[in-house]
Structure 1
């Protein structure tokens, strides 16, 4: 159906226009939202159609196949032209004078939107949530994949629309929408400092092997005092400095040496003290040396009668 030289099909509005930024008509406030300025003929056609309010439109760039959505602010543009925010032209990859198709659209009310700032400077604002709420009051809808502009304190912050629910394009007019933030694009996680070992621990770790070697050297097995099972006092106390292993080494070393009277006397003296002697010297010792231990044990036998078990008075069970 042809209407006034423009193509209108049934109850829908669809028309192609030449687009220009808002700076062409000296309306800087247009940059603070997502609304465009259309010609009066578009208002005439929209008024005759039964469309939903508020008026929302789909913008389509056929050359790049980019799609976005917007609202309308005024109908004062020249015929065949529309004016839009410059950041919106950047989303659609449009240049001044490029052709864009405008079509009316019905969008569901949004329930969720996820935003991602381009720089972490936006998070340094004292109250970014309040600034974002104030800015979004000038917006009619949000489209996944777009980058909106938030102006604050003479600085422009760009924010990507990562996700919207319940659809890829939503209306944010008179609706409660949950907002979530993703980390900024230039955000880097701080490096975790490596745990430094204190110098005192390093010194301890350096001395640990040496200390273990010293412990091994000082360790002597089977040290202590000898005790008799019958309760009598021991005749000899073994020193804790000498170890059985050392005695064994010394005795084996002595067994390898040739037999001499001094060594035989030493072996007999060892036998008299009640120590075990390993090696051939024990067999080669003279008979006098073998008899000597018996003589030393005789006093111990004389003391044995002193121990009298089951001593005491006798009693009769008859009373």
Structure 2
């Protein structure tokens, strides 16, 4: 079916075509970008319009209401037909020969894009950043929700466009765009390893069990070593080591009894009717109890030393 009618809506271009993959015209290299091939009649109409360059288009599948964006490489397709990369047909859920609507649009330059690889194999590439920069040079625009294809080393890597700024569709021609990566779709966080000897139930029982009280440390006991002989033979002598705790108890009892006896003697002194002061109390009590039998003669006191009381001498003799 050939569509020779254009929809003239002011300065916009809008037309419907039947879509086919680029492999139909022997151009498989176009699979690594977002460029499509349109018929010459489309170029004639676009040249008569005042549109901005580079030319960007919106692709829409009316049956599934899915849309994407792309650029154009050449105008050499048969009339009524358009050729596009197969990954774009997959995004739009299009089959060979299905109808696609194409409309020219103007997109803002992108400032941010977030990408998410399908598989973690993409991270195993020696320099994925350089590969991605080289591949995106073949792209004119990016649309949120699309899955682009990055060919490398005879392998195809699919990457989802998770987010774009400032809008959901951006132009990446001659612009500095910040790129961020999300974890791959098949990435799984490593699980924490549990002890091999304990199951989950046993481990829970060990955690719930109350902690046992720590045993008291062994007290130091002096002279508790074993005896040794000088000739190296085993000794049969076993010393009887007294327990210091038990030995300290009689001392404490003895000190207590001495204290009580002292208090009793002091109480007896208080009942004798005399006042006793300080440490001379016992001496004063003994002197009071001593009865003199004879009067002792008074002792002569030694003369005290007086200075300058000697005799005078003259030098004449």
Provide the C-alpha distance between the structure 1 equivalents of 2:114 and 2:169, rounded to a whole number of angstroms.
12
Provide the C-alpha distance between the structure 2 equivalents of 1:209 and 1:63, rounded to a whole number of angstroms.
72
Return closer, same or farther for 1:307/1:124 CA change in 2, 3 Å cut-off: farther
Provide the C-alpha distance between the structure 1 equivalents of 2:36 and 2:280, rounded to a whole number of angstroms.
127
How far apart are 1:8 and its partner, in Å?
2.5
1:167 alignment partner in structure 2: 167
Structure 2 residue ranges without an equivalent (≥5): 198-210, 222-241, 266-278, 284-317
2:136 alignment partner in structure 1: 136
Provide the C-alpha distance between the structure 1 equivalents of 2:149 and 2:62, rounded to a whole number of angstroms.
24
Q: Deviations over 1:17-57 (max 9, x none)?
A: 11111111111011010010111111110111111100000
1:241 alignment partner in structure 2: 245
Instruction: Give yes or no for contact 2:4–2:80 (8 Å, CA) kept in 1.
Output: no
SS in 1 for 2:132: helix
How far apart are 1:306 and its partner, in Å?
11
Number of residue pairs the alignment of both structures matches: 229
Instruction: Give yes or no for contact 1:20–1:97 (8 Å, CA) kept in 2.
Output: yes
Provide the C-alpha distance between the structure 2 equivalents of 1:50 and 1:210, rounded to a whole number of angstroms.
89
TM-score scaled by structure 1?
A: 0.64
Return closer, same or farther for 1:211/1:161 CA change in 2, 3 Å cut-off: closer
Find the structure with the greater CA-based Rg: 2
How far apart are 1:211 and its partner, in Å?
5.9
Return closer, same or farther for 1:307/1:131 CA change in 2, 3 Å cut-off: farther
SS in 2 for 1:212: coil
1:86 alignment partner in structure 2: 86
| Structure 1 runs (4+) greater than 4 angstroms displaced | 193-197, 208-211, 304-308
How far apart are 1:10 and its partner, in Å?
2.2
Structure 1 residue ranges without an equivalent (≥5): 198-207, 221-237, 248-269, 278-292, 298-303, 309-319
Provide the C-alpha distance between the structure 2 equivalents of 1:134 and 1:28, rounded to a whole number of angstroms.
17
Q: Deviations over 1:224-265 (max 9, x none)?
A: xxxxxxxxxxxxxx9623289xx8xxxxxxxxxxxxxxxxxx
How far apart are 1:9 and its partner, in Å?
2.3
How far apart are 1:11 and its partner, in Å?
1.2
TM-score scaled by structure 2?
A: 0.64
